[in-house]
A = this chain, B = another copy of it.
């Protein structure tokens, strides 16, 4: 199960942190590190801080986008130092670890960490089914990146050892990249039929993502939804072409 968990670091600035993450992961029996646009990598500093985890670091996959890093995953969870205003579901590390582990029993999952200075953007959090927030000093809440990875990895190993994998439901679900394709289609269709204004649709799209994150469509269901979207688009373009009611 632990082998199905990717640790994804988005736009890490300090290569030392990447090395420290590799070491923390290996200590906690995790293996798969994915780097999205790291500032400096490969780097001697990363290698030095990785200590005995050089192989894990050398096997890290470097990606040009978060979507690429998440390809093939059933689910992503995002680490957040702040409590967010938008209504993402949010768990503490222990519950997040049990949920991730349960999901990892059925396929690949990702745990995503943002930039040292500013974390993850809202657009990146939109890819995440839920957030995880490490309880901390309210006056000084931002952990070093590698320390945050350490705490989460520790909780994952603890959950694994205790056999505490929380399974939401055992079902085939479509991978994240197909869901992203669906969200783009949905947004486009809603604009084309005149339901939403693209300049004001961010909040609306976020609510719909939450809805479909809960629903977790399988392949057949997604085909039905996309078929309907295409029909709505076609009807609209027919209307445009024909100028009358269809």
Cβ of A201 under 8 Å from chain B: no
Cβ of A53 under 8 Å from chain B: yes
Could you tell me the distance between the alpha carbons of A191 and B111 in the complex, rounded to whole angstroms? 60
Within 60-95 of A, Cβ neighbours of B (below 8 Å) are at 93-94
Known contacts A147-B20, A151-B150; decide if A26 and B137 are in contact (CB<8 Å): yes
Cβ of A134 under 8 Å from chain B: yes
Cβ of A23 under 8 Å from chain B: yes
Stoichiometry (number of copies): 2
Q: Closest residue to A161 on the B side, CB-wise?
A: B135
Q: How far is the CB of A7 from chain B (nearest CB, A)?
A: 14
Cβ of A143 under 8 Å from chain B: yes
- Is B151's CB under 8 angstroms from A154's CB? yes
Within 19-71 of A, Cβ neighbours of B (below 8 Å) are at 20, 23-24, 26-29, 51-53
Known contacts A150-B151, A151-B150; decide if A158 and B135 are in contact (CB<8 Å): yes
- Is B144's CB under 8 angstroms from A51's CB? yes
Known interface pairs A24-B143, A150-B151; 16 further A-B residue pairs with C-beta atoms within 8 A, sorted by A's residue number: A23-B144, A23-B147, A24-B147, A27-B136, A27-B142, A51-B144, A52-B142, A53-B140, A134-B154, A135-B158, A135-B161, A136-B157, A147-B147, A147-B150, A151-B151, A151-B154
**Sampled A-B contacts (20; CB under 8 Å):** A20-B144, A23-B144, A23-B147, A24-B147, A27-B136, A27-B137, A27-B141, A27-B142, A28-B136, A28-B137, A51-B144, A52-B140, A53-B140, A135-B157, A135-B158, A135-B161, A136-B157, A147-B147, A147-B150, A154-B154
Task: List the 5 closest A-B pairs by CB distance, nearest first.
Answer: A147-B150, A27-B136, A29-B137, A26-B140, A27-B143
